[in-house]
A and B are shown apart, each in its own frame.
Chain A
Amino acid sequence: MKTFTNKEGSQIVDMLIRSIQENKQYLSDIDGEIGDGDHGINMNKGFTLCREALDKEPGDLSHSLNVLGRTLMMKIGGAMGPLYGSFFRAFSRSLEGKDNIGRDDIQAALSSSVEALQLISKAQVGDKTMMDVLLPAKEAMELAVQKDLPFESAVDLMAEAARTGRDSTVNMEARIGRSARLGERSKGVMDAGAASCCLILETMTAGVRELIK
């Protein structure tokens, strides 16, 4: 089974930062439809601060993810700060100390990050949040491991599930967060957190594929 080194892996975080920066406007625009239009701004602020921190103090993947999580949690605020903060910190913790990272490591890290997130958010599938992306993605990855699929296929399936989850939010009625009280009116638009979450998982997938190419 293919692996990549924790050291090389830090480029995944570089890619995450770039993709959030590039999609700042897109994410804000989506949020503007049924939220307050700042999701891209918030995410970009956090990821850009992380970029600065990493430039000063670079390291391996688990280090980079930890810096990212800490930065989001400590500097960003809102709901996104603690949610993505816990997510990335848990992801980092799970990979800590590993020299080489393989399919099962990623699967375990993803599962534990989702669990960490569930400690602070009660959002379920169907509430129109990032959870509609994360939970199916996590399950797809678990299934791939159960089926013992190759690393590439596992992450591809995970990204595929993320996309499906993201798109499923379009027809949902928001039940959590700022758009929740739009009720019926929240239907027809994708959830911004779902969009950013899917972007993150897709970028991770692209990162992994590049590393194990």
Chain B
Amino acid sequence: MKLFEFEAKEILAARGVKVPPSVLVFPGDDVAAKIREAGLEPPLVVKSQVLVAGRGKAGGIKLVKSVEEAVRVAEELFRKPIKGVLPGALLIEKAVEHEAELYAAITIDRSERKPVVLASRFGGVDIEEIAKEKPESIVRLHVDPFLGLRGFEARRVGKALGLSGKLLISFASFLQTLYSIFEELDADLVESNPLAVVGDEVLPLDARIIVDDNALFRHKEIIEKRRVEQAGEYTEWEVKARQIGLPFVELDGNVGIIGNGAGLTMATMDLVYSFGGKPANFLDIGGGARAELVKKAVGFLLDFPKADRIFMNIFGGITRGDEVAKGVVEAVKEKGLKKPLVVRLRGTREEEGRRILEEAGIHAYTDPIEAVKKVLSL
């Protein structure tokens, strides 16, 4: 679960980190009044609270010189989708003069299977570019997950960035706070970019936290506190899918895709692509799906307008062919066969599944190549 910038900053502030003074505004708010109440003096920064990467480059962050300009820009940003998603709120923040912009993050190094601190003196711009062009400028430090990030390790990172004196202490203490958030919130990523240098101290101008979805049961307070709903992260159809519990990702093409298992579903997309088609989505029914779930998934794609045809690719291991077939037949019965549906079915209870589908007038392929050619020819 990705947290919004303002949520991440609230979490930092609750742990004693100084963040720029700001106010959160919602659609319909009297923006000028809110700015005055918060005692914010221009220049200000108006920031679209969306959860897509590259928000700044996409025009979601604007510097304004007056309250009037802030009001005008806020109206504009509320109506401006960033990479397809509209913000549920805007963060209006005091623009802070600063001497330098650093980068600091804690994430998990999958290969080392340890937490890793990443830091750079060149924050603020696209850190991925920096990582490619000047890999030596990225400082990495692995952390023993049973010991946590100790103070001297945090200072070692700061020293490697060339910091000294009080700024070194401020940076190290900030890193330790990031780590404590990383650990306490089961985060996949805790990041500040840019992390400004203001005199002897660091000040996070932006902050990102991604909490491990699998650990959310331990962090109900995050969900309970959320003031901005799904908006800001998902498209309209993705929101619908999440509401009925389907792991669905919207894409740009026209071929609806259903598979079982993330790997096979991705492979199915790749197959469509390599035969000249373009997938409209990713939809994985997982392992051991029952008829009910299959019905829901197929029904959803029958409704999903971007998909003008559906390609369903199932290789049953713990997923049973008969359950899959029953689900497909029920979905078609309920929604009607509004668009072409090609099914490829193999694995456990393949024959029974095939029979159920054929009885309902749906042909089930064995060979996926044959099936993909068919679906693209329609």
Query: Does A pair with B?
Result: no
Report which B residues bind A (CB closer than 8 A). none
